[in-house]
């Protein structure tokens, strides 16, 4: 039974600042009323209803099930009072026709079995062959019989260890466990090492019984579950493999498939732990190293002569329509400026967590925003709700849209607030560019954590001692540091941040989740384990919508580049451990100095935001015509000065992330134009990718070129900030 949602909308915790960053006390008066009204609306029971609808049938991108989901989202946006459109692209997708895997020696055992149905969860009883088969999208077709080598996670260092042990994978099938890397990276590594094909499987050590109770008794993966997914090298360039860098409109030029750089050359198939065990228990080669032993309760061995496996795959790649659903709430003061909320709707099966939880949260955010519109609210800037298709393939729908509208986005996009899955548990987790963290902290302070009654922020800050990439100390005395991650690969923010330089974040309420990309990621799993009562779905609607309302309406954009500058300096410091030492001293040190300048220039702008929040500095600028703030006491001149000053600061703040782009991109993968963040093949974030990769390759000429590009980017970032503050009087309290 869902508990009453009303309690979740109670007033926020005390540590939230009276006026959020980017507003003045006067301008926040009207905003605060709209925020309060907004936060009352998201409703857990309605999120449950959306999720039930969104997960009613399998909806792989480009299939009839996907199209029905698209129409449902379109209808719900319309019902919310928004004006959605369906944006179609024609892209290369991949589907399985036949997947057969069999152990042929020393015994004959049929593998690649369907996921067993769970009593009491009728969604897991499936007859659709595409749902029954384990498959990896874009795998080439194959028919081969080979010995098998177990390669641990199948990462570079695993193959190096195998080579040291004298084990060759050449022309064999390799068997790799999932996790510690993305499947595309595992595929590419196997291809480079000369393997004939790769089998990936879900070892219980990572997502099964050793972690806790398995479904239907707990949230972890039962032995028969397998993880579908795409095997594609989208860390080289995401989006439709046939249109790298340009949009897949119906008339677009397309590469012949054999020229597509991101398609794998060797076959891949995923197996369940139960099926992989049939192979692993029969391997008769040398014992695998200690760290390679998994959770199956047998001795893992590297290979040997006994085992032969037959893999027969018939895959079909075809150019087919996909559909983004995009709704805009037009801004009334700066309609050209875009605050973008992103989520995707395609799933490998039902995708209750990934991504339907996020879609349910988005629909509820849309409904609440629509209700505000009916009550007279008008945002200052345009809010865009982008519900993308085919994310699971190559982040396809968002990438094509981001390529089609690149000029507009580079000019006008303020922020991209991405939520893929919104809920698999209760732990608020965010990955973001550092400039966004203060705004996220303040939003999290204003939203209640459903289970504890604390603010989302307080509960997040309690986890500060956990392992995390970075941490940020929030504003105000009550604020402790909170952990945040960096953006690498694996969701729809990529085209916004890494191609177009739009500040981006990705957030989720995280939790134990062992059924990723399996048939068991369904409504019953969510209702029992992920979010019983659906209150975290509603909490995400609140957070997401609140951030949107603040970025859409703030007088000064709540972006803090002094934190960003400090972060980049820290990444540069981290290069010290890559030799040669004199390169660091001569070339990297000056860049760190440059970051200090950047930090100083940014701190002056942040002081201005703080002063604005405190009611000082430039005169109150504009506010939405329908808002209830009045500026009647101000003479026209001071009001004009205020508008000019805020516009100048805002355009400087918007130019910051763009300044970090380089038109030539990272060497070897020019689609990635951001000099600070790119994805690794593992999907993790790589900082300073161009410079780091050159240094790691020992190519000092290239490293010097990359350092020069980085210096130019930092110069640009500093120059725009300095220009924005030199022309106006400083705030009352500059420090
Ligand atoms: Zn997803």
Residue 615 pLDDT level (bands cut at 50, 70, 90)? confident
Q: How far is the CA of 54 from the centre of ligand 1 (A)?
A: 14
Q: How far is the CA of 513 from the centre of ligand 1 (A)?
A: 13
| DSSP β-bridge partners for residue 314 | 98
* Comparison of pLDDT for 611 and 172, the residue scoring more: 172
pLDDT at 3 over 50: no
For 287, other C-beta atoms within 10 Å of its C-beta total: 12
Give the whole-angstrom CA distance, residue 658 versus residue 160: 39
Could you tell me the two tokens for 340? 């973008």
68-121, pLDDT tens digit by residue? 999 999 999 999 999 999 999 999 999 999 999 999 989 999 999 999 999 999
Q: How far is the CA of 507 from the centre of ligand 1 (A)?
A: 12
β-strands 381-388, 427-432: how paired? Answer: unpaired
Selecting among 191, 364, 391, 403, the annotated active-site residue is 391
Give the whole-angstrom CA distance, residue 656 versus residue 503: 9
Q: Which residues contact 445 (CB under 8 A, 6 or more apart)?
A: 12, 13, 15, 16, 17, 455, 456, 457, 474, 479
Is the four-CA dihedral 675, 673, 183, 394 of positive or negative sign? Answer: positive
565-579, pLDDT tens digit by residue? 999 999 999 999 999
Percent of the chain exceeding pLDDT 90 equals 85
pTM: 0.93
- Is residue 475 helix, strand or coil? coil
DSSP 518-540: STTSSHHHIIIII-TTSHHHHHH
Catalytic-residue membership of 391: yes
Burial of 600 (0-12, 13-18, 19+ CB in 10 A): middle
567 preceded by cis ω (within 30°)?
Answer: no
Structure confidence at residue 725 (pLDDT): 74
Closest CA to 333 of 379, 282, 268, 277: 379
196-215, pLDDT tens digit by residue? 999 999 999 999 999 999 99
Q: Which residues contact 58 (CB under 8 A, 6 or more apart)?
A: 65, 126, 128, 130, 131, 347, 349, 350
Q: What is the mean pLDDT of residues 616-642?
A: 44
Structure confidence at residue 9 (pLDDT): 63
| Tokens 């037009």, located at residue | 330
Structure confidence at residue 483 (pLDDT): 86
What's the number of CA atoms in the CB half-sphere (13 Å) around residue 225?
Answer: 29
β-strands 308-329, 173-177: how paired? Answer: unpaired
Q: How far is the CA of 350 from the centre of ligand 1 (A)?
A: 12
Q: How far is the CA of 259 from the centre of ligand 1 (A)?
A: 27
Give the whole-angstrom CA distance, residue 20 versus residue 163: 57
Q: How far is the CA of 319 from the centre of ligand 1 (A)?
A: 22
Give the whole-angstrom CA distance, residue 514 versus residue 207: 5
Structure confidence at residue 618 (pLDDT): 45
Burial of 634 (0-12, 13-18, 19+ CB in 10 A): middle
Residue 635 pLDDT level (bands cut at 50, 70, 90)? very low
Q: How far is the CA of 47 from the centre of ligand 1 (A)?
A: 18
Q: What is the mean pLDDT of residues 251-271?
A: 96
The mean pLDDT value of the chain amounts to 92
């Amino acid at each position: 039974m869902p508990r009453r949602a009303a309690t979740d909308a109670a007033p926020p915790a005390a540590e939230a600042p009276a006026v959020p960053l980017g507003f003045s006390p006067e301008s926040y008066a009207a905003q605060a009323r709209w925020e309060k009204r907004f936060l009352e609306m998201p409703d857990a029971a309605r999120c449950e209803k959306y999720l039930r609808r969104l997960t009613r049938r399998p909806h792989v991108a480009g299939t009839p099930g996907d199209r029905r989901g698209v129409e449902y989202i379109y209808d719900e946006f319309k019902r919310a009072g928004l004006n959605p459109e369906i944006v179609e692209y024609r892209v290369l997708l991949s589907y399985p026709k036949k997947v057969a895997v069999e152990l042929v020696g020393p015994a004959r055992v049929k593998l690649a079995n369907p996921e067993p149905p769970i009593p009491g969860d009728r969604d897991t009883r499936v007859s659709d062959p595409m749902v029954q088969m384990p498959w990896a999208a874009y795998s080439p077709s194959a028919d081969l019989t080979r010995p098998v080598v177990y390669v641990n996670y199948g990462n570079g260092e695993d193959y190096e260890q195998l080579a040291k042990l004298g084990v060759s994978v050449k022309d064999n099938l390799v068997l790799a466990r999932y996790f510690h890397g993305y499947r595309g990276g595992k595929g590419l590594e196997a291809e480079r090492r000369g393997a004939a094909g790769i089998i990936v499987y879900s070892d219980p050590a990572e997502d099964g019984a050793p972690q806790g109770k398995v479904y239907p008794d707990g949230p972890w993966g039962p032995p028969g579950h397998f993880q579908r997914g795409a095997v594609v090298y989208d860390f080289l360039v995401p989006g439709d493999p046939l249109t790298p860098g340009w949009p897949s409109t119906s008339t677009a030029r397309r590469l012949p498939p054999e020229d597509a750089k991101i398609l794998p050359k060797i076959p891949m198939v995923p197996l369940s732990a139960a099926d992989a065990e049939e192979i692993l228990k029969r391997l008769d080669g040398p014992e695998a190293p200690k760290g390679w032993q998994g959770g199956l309760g047998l001795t893992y061995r590297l290979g040997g002569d006994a085992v032969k496996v037959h893999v027969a795959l018939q895959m079909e790649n075809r150019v087919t329509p996909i559909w983004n659903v995009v709704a805009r709430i037009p801004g009334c003061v700066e309609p050209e400026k875009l605050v973008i909320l992103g989520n995707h709707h395609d799933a490998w099966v039902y995708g209750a967590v990934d991504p339907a939880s996020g879609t349910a949260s988005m629909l509820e955010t849309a409904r609440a925003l629509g209700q505000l519109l009916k009550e007279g609210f008008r945002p200052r800037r345009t809010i865009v709700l982008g519900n993308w298709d085919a994310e699971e393939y190559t982040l396809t729908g968002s990438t094509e849209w981001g390529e089609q509208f690149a000029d507009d986005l580079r000019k006008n996009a303020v922020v991209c607030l991405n939520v893929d899955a919104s809920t698999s548990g209760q732990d608020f987790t965010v990955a973001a560019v550092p400039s966004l963290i203060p705004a996220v902290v303040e939003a999290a302070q204003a939203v209640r954590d459903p289970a504890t009654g604390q603010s989302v922020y307080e509960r997040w800050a309690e986890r500060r001692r956990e392992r995390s990439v970075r941490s940020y100390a929030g504003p105000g005395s009550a604020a402790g540091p909170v952990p945040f991650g960096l953006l690498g690969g694996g969701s729809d923010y990529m085209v916004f941040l890494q191609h177009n330089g739009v500040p981006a974040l990705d957030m989720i309420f995280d939790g134990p989740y062992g059924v990723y990309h399996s048939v068991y990621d369904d409504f019953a799993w969510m209702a029992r384990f992920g979010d019983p009562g659906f209150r975290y779905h509603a909490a995400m609607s609140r957070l997401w919508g609140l951030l949107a309302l603040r970025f859409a309406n703030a007088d000064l954009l709540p972006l803090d580049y002094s934190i960003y500058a400090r972060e980049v300096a820290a990444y540069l410091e981290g290069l010290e451990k890559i030799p040669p030492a004199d390169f660091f001293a001569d070339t990297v040190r000056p860049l760190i100095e440059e970051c200090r300048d950047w930090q100083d220039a940014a701190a002056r702008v942040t002081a201005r935001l703080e002063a604005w929040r405190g009611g000082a500095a430039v005169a109150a600028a504009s506010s939405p015509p329908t808002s209830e703030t009045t500026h009647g006491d101000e003479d026209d001149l001071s009001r004009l000065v205020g508008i000019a000053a805020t516009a100048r600061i805002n355009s400087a703040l918007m130019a910051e992330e763009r300044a970090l782009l380089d038109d030539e991109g990272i060497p070897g993968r020019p689609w990635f134009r951001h000099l600070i963040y790119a994805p690794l093949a593992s999907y993790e974030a790589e900082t300073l990718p161009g410079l780091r990769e050159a240094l790691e390759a020992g190519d000092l000429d290239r490293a010097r070129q990359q350092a020069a590009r980085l210096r130019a980017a930092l110069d640009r970032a500093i120059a725009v900030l300095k220009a924005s503050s030199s022309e106006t009087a400083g705030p009352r309290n500059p420090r």
